[in-house]
A and B are shown apart, each in its own frame.
Chain A
Amino acid sequence: LTRRANLARLAAAPIALAVGLGALAVAQGPGRFTTYAGHSGLAASLTVTAGLALVAAGLVTSFSRPAGQIGDLALLAGLVWFAPVWVGWDKGPPLVRSLGMLAAGFTFPLLLHLVLAYPSGQLRGTAARVLIAAAYLEAALVALGQALFRDPFYDPNCWANCTDNDFLVRSLPQLARAIEATDRWFTVAAATALVALCARRLLQDSGPARRAVLPVIPAAILLAGAVTAHAVALQRRLLEDPSDPAFRTIFALGCTAVILLAAGLVWATVRTRIQRRAVARIATNLGQAPPPGSLQAALAQAVGDPELRITYWLPNAEHYVDATGRPVAEPVAAPGRAITTLVRDGRQIAVVSHTAALPELERELGAAVRLALENERLQAEALAQLDQLRASRIRIVETSDSERRRLERDLHDGAQQRLLALSYDLRLAHASAQADGDAPTGTLLTETTDHALAALGELRELAHGIYPAILAEAGLTPALASLADAAPLPVELHTVAQGRYPAAVETATYLLVAEALEDAAGRDASHATVSVVRTGERLVVTVQDNGTDRTSAMVQLADRIGALDGQLTVEPTRLRAELLCG
């Protein structure tokens, strides 16, 4: 279908040339007095340039973006443009003159359609759709009315064609005049509406979308001005005389508008070509291992849309992520924003949210860019999995911490309290045994009480080892002081950062110091120095001792600290950890 349409378009080129040159011949010969082109060389060149420029712009546009109707509209408008000249072919075939008369009325609706459908080919908004439908309908009704009821012979204001109408059914000069008057007022109204719609687009659209419509807007406003002036002039003079300076000026303005429009179309196409090449080059320019997000930045720059966003769908996680793997909301189309989903081998690779002024982004992204996108998607997936893994490591640490706390509480509030109560009872029993003079029982109870007390002591140490309550309640400073009090070797607390930190950070710090001191004692150290310093967002914990060289890699500590996105450096007699503390 596309090929056939392209052939038709190619065929249109010589036809248009013939129509244009034929029109020139008509203007130079039989239509010398009845056409603008016949009146001066300037008018002739303006006429031919405008029409052929539209045709050329139409061809260029449709071959660079076949999906849009814009090119076809321009092509058609360029052909119809010559109709009024052919009407002036005095003594020519009546059918040609009759058809020319009918076709001439469609030039303005076609140009109107072109401008409002630019650049996507789709009409945006109800107002635009209603306006275009009304314009075509009106042009068709006017053509029909003229064809059936206008007898040029009875038209006192007849200008170019005063004899021929092959379709005449009944001559109704008054009705024909009424139709002409209505057409004039409708044209003024349509031109006004066009200016209003252009102004609205300029005001409402965002940067890139506004830039996209700029090539056609000045021409559209000039065109609206020209057709309005033409209608007003006709209303006042009734006779359209190409020799009248006012009409000639208006005609020149109309031609200029059409030439500008054609030039705008060509310029936009060239710009799109350049942009497309830039998009295609993105992948090459990014190099071997672009950092996450550089593809989005490069694409945004290439298409001139800073708001452009690339998101990736992760089928396993069932949500969208950005290039760094962070979850993002599902991209949705919004006013002025469009969504392009890129698919490769039946799988969705990326969703690009971009300005609606880029209707064919998908076509513009070549194989290289798709490959780069696919790569970035895989990278984003890996990063997202890494994030999940990190979160799950933190959860494991946090769960283990809270489990330790719970265990310590259970011991404290349960077993320890019961044992205390038991020893109190034992004490009372002892007292009563003594009062009764039961010496053996008294001795037994004393022994039992000693066991209970020893058990209490052990239980207390156990609970403290599982989780030091003071750490949660009062923070690192007293907890580390306590650790130093009970340490098996002299410990110097060099500096300990004041204040409270996230529970996981405090626990990690405490366990690091506790384990480092135990390890130092095991390596015959005679003293150790502990420092906890806050530098910016980090808590730096250092334990230095003077024991023999360490053999353990302190894997458990490294795991715990790694889970918190921290770093543990293990040296022979020094442990250093950096923890993020927000």
Chain B
Amino acid sequence: VVADDTMLTRQGIVRLLRDANIEVVAEAQDAQGLLHQVRLARPDVALVDIRMPPTHTDEGLVAAQAIRAEHPQVGVLVLSQYVEPSYALRLLQEHPERVGYLLKERVFDIATVVDALRRIADGETVIDPTIVARLVGRRRQQDPLAVLSEREREVLGLIAEGLSNRAIAARLYVTERTVEAHTTQIFQKLHLPESPDQHRRVLAVLTYLRA
């Protein structure tokens, strides 16, 4: 299900998805229509614009929470034009699994979107790299990230984007064991509680980066 109140954008997204062999079962132009369609079609993932009628503020986020609460098997990918970590964190806070937050221009690189949809359908969490980059790159007076090596920082960013150890290993062309070692190091250095739960790990890292 694709929900966006702007017809041009919605149609663009749908065409790109169909072009990439993703089945679009329904379209909606507001939060109510979206919830209705999700109830009817039970899709793997719903793509949701943040700003929709009637107030054009955060309807998409509210609808995303509703979908996650009502249909635990349906994932939600929020598409937004805002590079706002707050929105991403808000999305993750209640149901950190099967959700994603991507910038709308990311749709343009359809492979990334397809990958994100697959990962969400698999129960993972997806956060846009631009947002992670902003958080990791944030200027800090006494940068706690200074204790990390260049590689470890890279891994931290990928963790924040929601990638699993295996995916990180594939991305960096190293073995999964190496990634696990990096992860353990990072969590120890930053005094973060290590969690076997991958999406909890994303939330913990994002919250840490924000603080």
Interface contact B139-A489, CB-CB below 8 Å:
yes
Cα distance A473–B50 in the bound complex, in angstroms:
11
Interface contact B86-A470, CB-CB below 8 Å:
yes
Interface contact A492-B85, CB-CB below 8 Å:
no
Is B185 an interface residue, CB under 8 A from the partner? no
Tell me the residues in window 99-132 of chain B with beta carbons closer than 8 Å to chain A beta carbons: 104-105, 107-108, 110
Cα distance A335–B134 in the bound complex, in angstroms:
73
Is A484 an interface residue, CB under 8 A from the partner? yes
**Please, how many residues of chain B have a CB less than 8 angstroms from a CB on the other chain?**
34
Interface contact B141-A424, CB-CB below 8 Å:
no
Q: A473 to chain B: which residues have CB within 8 Å?
A: 57-58
Closest chain A residue to B138, Cβ basis: A485
Interface contact A460-B83, CB-CB below 8 Å:
yes
Interface contact B8-A418, CB-CB below 8 Å:
yes
Is B84 an interface residue, CB under 8 A from the partner? yes
Is A5 an interface residue, CB under 8 A from the partner? no
The 8 Å CB contact of A470, one of B16, B56, B87, is B87
The 8 Å CB contact of B6, one of A417, A490, A526, is A417
Interface contact B85-A431, CB-CB below 8 Å:
no
Q: Shortest CB–CB separation between residue B192 and chain A, in angstroms?
A: 20
**Please, how many residues of chain A have a CB less than 8 angstroms from a CB on the other chain?**
39
Interface contact A490-B84, CB-CB below 8 Å:
no
The 8 Å CB contact of B139, one of A413, A417, A456, A490, is A490
Closest chain B residue to A470, Cβ basis: B84
Which of A416, A424, A431 has the largest number of chain B CB atoms within 10 A? A424
Binds B, one of A289-297, A474-482, A499-507: A474-482
Q: Shortest CB–CB separation between residue A411 and chain B, in angstroms?
A: 10
Interface contact A412-B108, CB-CB below 8 Å:
no
Interface contact B138-A484, CB-CB below 8 Å:
yes
The 8 Å CB contact of A481, one of B15, B85, B140, is B85
Interface contact B84-A424, CB-CB below 8 Å:
no
Q: A456 to chain B: which residues have CB within 8 Å?
A: 105
Cα distance A421–B11 in the bound complex, in angstroms:
8
Q: Shortest CB–CB separation between residue B74 and chain A, in angstroms?
A: 24
Q: B84 to chain A: which residues have CB within 8 Å?
A: 470, 478, 482
Is B33 an interface residue, CB under 8 A from the partner? no
Q: B82 to chain A: which residues have CB within 8 Å?
A: 460, 464, 469-470
Given the known A-B contacts A487-B139, A490-B139, are A417 and B87 also in contact in the complex, defined by CB atoms under 8 Å? Answer: no
Is A281 an interface residue, CB under 8 A from the partner? no
Interface contact A492-B8, CB-CB below 8 Å:
no
Is A527 an interface residue, CB under 8 A from the partner? yes
Binding site for B on A (CB under 8 A): 409, 412-413, 416-418, 420-421, 423-425, 427-428, 431, 449, 453, 456-457, 460, 464, 469-470, 472-474, 478, 481-482, 484-492, 526-527
Give 3 nearest A-B pairs by CB, closest first. A424-B12, A478-B86, A421-B8
Given contacts A420-B12, A470-B87, A474-B90, 18 further A-B contacts (CB under 8 A): A412-B81, A417-B8, A420-B8, A420-B9, A420-B104, A420-B105, A421-B9, A424-B13, A428-B19, A453-B108, A464-B83, A470-B82, A478-B86, A481-B85, A485-B135, A485-B210, A490-B140, A491-B139
